[in-house]
Every structure is written in C-alpha cells, then in structure tokens.
Amino acid sequence: MSPQKRAPARPTQFVRRLEKRAANFVVEREAVRPRESLIVGVSGGPDSTALLCLLTRLRTTMRLKITAAHYDHRLRSRKEAAADREYVARLCRSLRVPLVTGSGDVKRRASTKKESIEEAARNLRYTFFAREANRIGATAVAVGHTLNDRAETVLLHLIRGSGLDGLAALPARSPWPFGAGPEITRPLLEVSRREVERYCKDLGLEPRHDPTNDLPVATRNRIRNELMPLLRSFNPRTEDALVRLADAVATDTEYLDSVADAEWDRLAQVSARDVTLPRTELAQSPIAIAVRLIRRAADHIGAQPETIHLDEALDGLTRRRFKVSIPGGRIESDSNSVIVTSRRSSAPKRTFLPNKLSIPGRTRAGAWSIEATKVERDAALPRDAYSALVDVDAIDGPLLVRSRRPGDRLRPLGLNGSRKLQDILVDAKVPAESRDAVPLISDQRGLIWVVGHCIDQRVALSSKTRRVVRLRARRRTRP
C-alpha cells in the first residue's frame, strides 16, 4: 500500500489553515529554530505522519535539516512491523527525507529492568533517538504529541498526585528527560487528534494503525480509551478545559519559580555536600516557596525527595528539631537552620584553575581540552553538545575556561530570560559531585558556554554576525 492513495491538485482550505496555525505556534513558542537539524520520530501513525509532513512544509522557509527516525518495539508481528517500516520508508522517499531505523526488545527490557511495557518502550525509543541525534548533530527530537496527548498527560499527573509542575504538562520544547541530550520539541501541541486525522485524509495519506494503542495495558491508554470518553459525557470539550488548566498552571509556576529564585539567592548557603537555609525565614515563607526551596536544595546535593518527604519537612518546622530521610540524603533542623545533606561521603572537588583561552589554539582545563578555531560565517552547525559556534564581535574581552563560581548565570539560547547555572546543571541531572568539573567558557560579562549543555544568547550567531569562532571540547585521554 502506498502512503498516498491520491495526490490532491492543491492543498485544501483546511490543510492551509492547519499548516498556518502550526507554523505560527512553532515560531511563537520557539518549538523549532531556524537552521536547526531535527530528528523526527515517525511510527507511521496519523500523528507522526502529519508531523513529518508539516515540518517538510517548513523545511525551505526555516532552512531545516530533517531526518526521520522509525523504531520497532517488537510488540507486533514481524509482518506488521515490516509493513510499518515500509510505509514510513515510502513516505520519506516521497518527501525526500532521509530515514534511520532501529529496533529493541521491549518485553525483555521490561522484565529485566522491572519496568512497565510503556516505560520500557519509551526508554528504548528515546535512547535510539538520542544516539541518532548525536550521530548527525541534531539539536532536537520532534515528536507528534497533540492537544489530546497534553490533556491526557494533565489527567495522568492529576491521578498520580502530581504538584503544579506536573499539571503544567508537555511544554512546546523541553530538555532531554534522561540527562544531557537533544531537546524535545512538540510542534503539534495545539492541534487535536481529530484534526491530525483529517489533515492526513485531505493530503491523500493513509497512516498505519498500531493496535497496541487500543490495549488497556498502560495507564495512559486506559485514560485515553476509558476515562476520557466518560469525562466527555460531563463536558464535551474536556481536552480543551484540561489544556487551559495546564496553561494557567504554567503561568503560575513561572511566577513562583521567579520568587523562589530570588529567595534562594538571598537565603541559601551552598556547599558541595549540603545546603543550609535559615529556619525562621523558611517557616515564615509561603508554603509554595518553602517547598521549592527545600526541593531545590535536595536537587543540589543529588537527592530526590517525594511529596511525602517534603510534607514531613514542613510539619517538622513546627517542632524544635526534626530529621527526615530522603532518597540520597536527609533533611534535618536545629533551632536556627534547616540543612539538606547528601549521604555520599565527602570527596575532593574536581575543579581546575581558570585559564585564558587561546584563539586560535588549544587550551587545557582539568580533564578537558578546548580547541578554538576561526571559521567562515556559513560554517556547518555543531554536530554535538561539545561544539559551539560563537559570534566573535559579541565577546567582551578575553575568554577564560574555568569551573563554576557562586552566582553564575546565563541566558540559554532558545529560552526566555536568565537562568542560574546551578539550575541548568540540576535539570540536566549532572551529579552534585561532578558539577565543579563541568568546563565553562566566560568573558568579562559572564558565561558564554556551558560545555555539553548550552550557549548564551548574547554570543549566538545572527544575521548580523560577521566573524565566527568554533569551540570544541574534548576529554583528554591522558593527564
């Protein structure tokens, strides 16, 4: 069966409207950036088929490099899996998009890792995506999450007792969920599943159907097939209501995070193994801020408290002393302070002295070697997170390679506003004992590149860029 049963002479009015909406969403939310290299996950179902078609329509205007990636979870028969793979291959040929494929034994992983089928499938699939993204230098993986997926995720987190951050659910673009890696982008997040299906139909496409989506084996599938239809009997626009909730919560959490940022800078005394917060001021803080401060302290030392632990700590503030054990550490208090401490034994910090970066040239920094090379304006984009292109004329003074310092901040490319280096490393799941060993490139105005993670918007290439330096960081095999 061909992926296309007929080729319409011209896009229908519905197709044009949907593509315009999706393009506006992509630009306004910065879900996809100009000149970006993308891995697009394509199962062959309606969502991923529509996603690939939409992105190919944006390919010329945004100068995108697109590679499709298809993963076989080995949950279907060999005949069905081969038909899926062939459908995706034909679709990619018709769109002139290169395709990479992979497969893995989901049932075996679920058994050996004690994971659900859903978790095992996701972990294997995303590992494949990350490997391919790193191989071709893609900066993001595009997935076909729709408005319905976001609504279902809000409901899933609500059932599990998630806090506000969980209810914000599925942003347009987010960090890699497994530590360092490409970002995840969701260009279809304001498009419903029904619209996706009509879009494919109007384009003359016949996407594949995966019957495993109908099996009530995963919580998400039961929410989709059992709970959502029930909720629609109360409100036919349940999905829209849940997405409005997610948007409202996201706005509130951004404000709470900004307040917590200011309080953290004012109150927290930070070391490699513990964080100390003044007890009286913590007790007098609004609960939403106190919880964020304690959770952030736990993140700093590499611990992972659950809601029950945070509740115990807040209750403990009413007593003179308390101690709460948390995974990876403990929270305790005396009459003056609340201290969040790691269980790991103390170890010397893996830092290195600041060193002036030679341009051009190679500079040593601890276990790293940083190479700087002058390149042409249209040089190829970095192929991995350990390479960066910077605008020479945006640099203020000589460049240094150094370890982190208290108060380090930058404005990561693609994100709105300034962020603390500490939070960037915590979000990337860099262990607390390894954060001092992350090489940083700075000038007189502050950080410009966190090696392996992000560059500052100030030095990113733009239409006004005339001179470019490529920075490459590599671990040295010998001291």
Longest CA–CA span in the chain (Å) reads 77
**Strand 322-326 versus strand 329-333 pairing type:** antiparallel
Write the pLDDT tens digit of every residue in 167-196: 888 889 887 877 567 889 999 999 999 999
What contacts 247, CB < 8 A, 6 or more positions away?
A: none
Looking at residue 289, its pLDDT comes to 93
- CA–CA distance from 208 to each of 2, 50, 85, 86, 377 (Å)? 11, 12, 10, 11, 43
Looking at residue 478, its pLDDT comes to 39
User: Contact at 8 Å (CB) between 84 and 99?
Assistant: no
- The answer, yes or no, to whether residue 347 has pLDDT greater than 70, is no
More confident residue, 142 or 438: 142
Report d(CA 186, CA 250) in Å as an integer. 16
- State the sign of the Cα–Cα–Cα–Cα dihedral 183, 110, 163, 239: positive
High-pLDDT (> 70) share of the chain, % = 90
Write the pLDDT tens digit of every residue in 447-478: 999 998 899 999 988 888 888 998 988 865 43
pTM of the model: 0.65
Q: What is the mean pLDDT of residues 124-130?
A: 92
**53 backbone φψ class: left, alpha, beta (φ>0; ψ -120 to 50):** alpha
Q: How confident is the model at residue 381 (pLDDT cuts 50, 70, 90)?
A: low
Quote the tokens at residue 347.
Answer: 């170890």
Write the pLDDT tens digit of every residue in 95-109: 999 999 999 999 999
Compute the chain's Rg from CA coordinates. Answer: 24
Instruction: Spell out the domains of the chain, with CATH numbers in brackets.
Output: 13-239 (3.40.50.620), 275-342 (3.30.465), 355-475 (3.50.40.10)
Write the pLDDT tens digit of every residue in 395-413: 988 888 888 887 788 988 8
Looking at residue 40, its pLDDT comes to 97
Amino acid at 105: D
Report d(CA 363, CA 360) in Å as an integer. 10
DSSP letter assigned to residue 456: B
Write the pLDDT tens digit of every residue in 226-250: 999 999 999 999 999 999 999 899 8
User: Contact at 8 Å (CB) between 471 and 390?
Assistant: yes
The segment with the largest mean pLDDT, out of 81-90, 374-383, 405-414, is 81-90
Write the pLDDT tens digit of every residue in 348-362: 455 666 778 878 888
Q: How confident is the model at residue 302 (pLDDT cuts 50, 70, 90)?
A: confident
Q: How many residues would you count in the chain?
A: 479
Looking at residue 346, its pLDDT comes to 46
- The answer, yes or no, to whether residue 137 has pLDDT greater than 60, is yes
Report d(CA 249, CA 427) in Å as an integer. 20
- The answer, yes or no, to whether residue 270 has pLDDT greater than 90, is no
